[in-house]
């Protein structure tokens, strides 16, 4: 593995009796786009502040390129932050704002001018240097805040909900721009959001947080397809989460029937939860179906119908279908074994990874001649 640019080892943060971060371990590799995702108050900003040096960890180590930096002051860390409210100086021009950090460092004037011009070009506002901050739109102010951070040439850029003040359309555009900028700069971004769509769209790797803990980390696809528990499944994307029981390896029961699934290593008869994404369900004739449900209601969402239904045991189902159904109609649903994902109650990420390893390795050994 590449030497991490940032690592947190067993980082805990307490304010009085309240434990805000609980034994956080995370590593960031150079040049990747990472996201801290979780509901309000789960500790995302506190992690950024700990890395930036604005907050001290109560316990644990903060490493930069392998060196412990707990005692290094914020202005000596090769890390810059873009804040949620941009924190631009309203009485300065755009160029003066972007130049601020370099001026503080007493860099020569021609160097400052060149680096400011370069940073403004990178955020596509090359001609805006003389503008007043108040004469910029929200999206432009956002880009200036980013220019002011990247002009310092940090190895790590921390972004605290930088898109939250923008309207939906501009927000989408800025998602593309930020991703593109990260790839062009080739530096590490650690982005904070509570918006799961934004996290899925932009990140190489996501850390899903709840109540001061990282519950799961992985690529957007891994986290979407194999959420570790109810919280993650529910927080990321739309899902059907049903109570079930493990019958055997690769066999699970729910909704009154047994089904083939892609999960193993769980004791027989253990109570589990099953996740199926609404887009993995297909409406079909009840005669060919795996389960029959009754349609309660449906909403037209433009490119699909979002259908709410109930099975014979009273479980609620959400189905995305390109075809509409009739309210009150009894319809069949089908799904593939690989679209079921079984979750154990209370399983931690390390246990989940270890379990997956056992049967994924077994699978490979079955493949050998």
Comparing every residue's Cβ against ligand ATP, the nearest one is: 45
How many degrees, rounded to 5, is the angle at CA 189 between CA 182 and CA 171?
70
| String of contacts with ligand ATP for each residue 247-276, x by CB under 6 A | ------------------------------
Cα angle 174, 179, 184; round to 5: 120
Dist CA 9 CA 13 (whole Å): 12
Stretch that binds ligand ATP, among 44-52, 269-277, 284-292, 361-369 (CB under 6 A): 44-52
Size of the site for ligand ATP (CB under 6 A): 11
Shortest CA distance to 170 belongs to which of 200, 128, 140, 136? Answer: 140
For ligand ATP, which is the closer residue by CB, 16 or 314?
16
State which residue, 146 or 209, has the beta carbon closest to ligand ATP.
209
Closest distance to ligand ATP from the beta carbon of 43 (Å)? 4
In the three-class reduction of DSSP (H, G, I as helix; E, B as strand; rest coil), residue 218 is classed as strand
45 near ligand ATP (CB under 6 A):
yes
Nearer to ligand ATP, 178 or 192 (CB): 192
Closest CA to 318 of 310, 331, 305, 307: 307
Cβ burial of 349 (10 Å; 0-12, 13-18, 19+) is: middle
Site for ligand ATP contains 42 (CB under 6 A): yes
For residue 337, state whether it binds ligand ATP (rule: CB under 6 A).
Answer: no
| Residues with Cβ within 8 Å of residue 83, at least 6 apart in sequence | 145, 160, 162
| Residue choice 41, 243, 256, 337 for contact with ligand ATP (CB under 6 A) | 41
Residues in 112-141 at the binding interface with ligand ATP, rule: CB under 6 A: none
Structure tokens at 219: 């690529």
- Radius of gyration of the CA atoms of the chain, in A: 24
Q: Is 87 in the site for ligand ATP (CB under 6 A)?
A: no
Residues forming the site for ligand ATP (CB under 6 A): 15, 20, 38, 40-46, 194
């Amino acid at each position: 593995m590449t030497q991490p640019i940032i690592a947190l080892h067993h980082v805990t943060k307490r304010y009085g009796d309240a434990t805000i971060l609980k034994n956080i371990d995370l590593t960031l590799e150079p040049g990747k786009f990472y996201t801290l995702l979780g509901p309000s108050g789960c500790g995302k900003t506190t992690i950024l502040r700990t890395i930036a040096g604005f907050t001290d960890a109560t316990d644990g180590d903060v490493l930069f390129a392998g060196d412990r930096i707990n005692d290094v002051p914020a202005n000596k860390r090769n890390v810059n932050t873009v804040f949620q409210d941009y924190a631009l100086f309203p009485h300065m021009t755009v160029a003066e704002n972007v130049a601020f950090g370099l001026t503080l460092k007493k860099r020569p004037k021609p160097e400052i001018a060149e680096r400011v011009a370069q940073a403004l070009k990178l955020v596509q506002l090359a001609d805006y240097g003389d503008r007043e901050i108040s004469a910029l739109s929200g999206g432009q102010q956002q880009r200036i805040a980013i220019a002011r951070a990247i002009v310092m040439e940090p190895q790590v850029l921390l972004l605290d909900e930088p898109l939250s003040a923008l309207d939906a359309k501009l927000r989408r555009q800025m998602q593309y721009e930020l991703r593109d900028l990260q790839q062009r700069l080739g530096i590490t971004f650690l982005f904070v959001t509570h918006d799961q769509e934004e996290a899925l769209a932009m990140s190489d790797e996501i850390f899903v947080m709840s109540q001061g803990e990282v519950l799961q980390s992985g690529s957007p696809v891994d986290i979407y397809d194999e959420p570790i528990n109810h919280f993650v499944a529910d927080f990321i994307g739309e899902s059907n989460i049903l109570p079930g029981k493990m019958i055997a390896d690769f066999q699970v029961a729910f909704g009154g029937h047994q089904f083939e699934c892609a999960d193993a290593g769980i004791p027989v008869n253990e109570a589990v939860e099953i996740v199926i994404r609404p887009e993995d369900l297909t409406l079909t004739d009840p005669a060919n179906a795996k389960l029959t449900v009754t349609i309660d209601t449906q909403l037209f969402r433009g490119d699909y119908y979002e259908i709410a239904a109930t099975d014979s045991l009273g479980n609620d189902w959400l189905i995305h279908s390109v075809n509409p159904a009739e309210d009150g109609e009894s319809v069949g649903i089908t799904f593939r074994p690989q679209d079921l994902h079984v979750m154990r109650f209370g399983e931690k990420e390390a246990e989940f990874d270890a379990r997956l390893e056992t049967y994924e390795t077994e699978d490979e050994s079955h493949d050998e001649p």
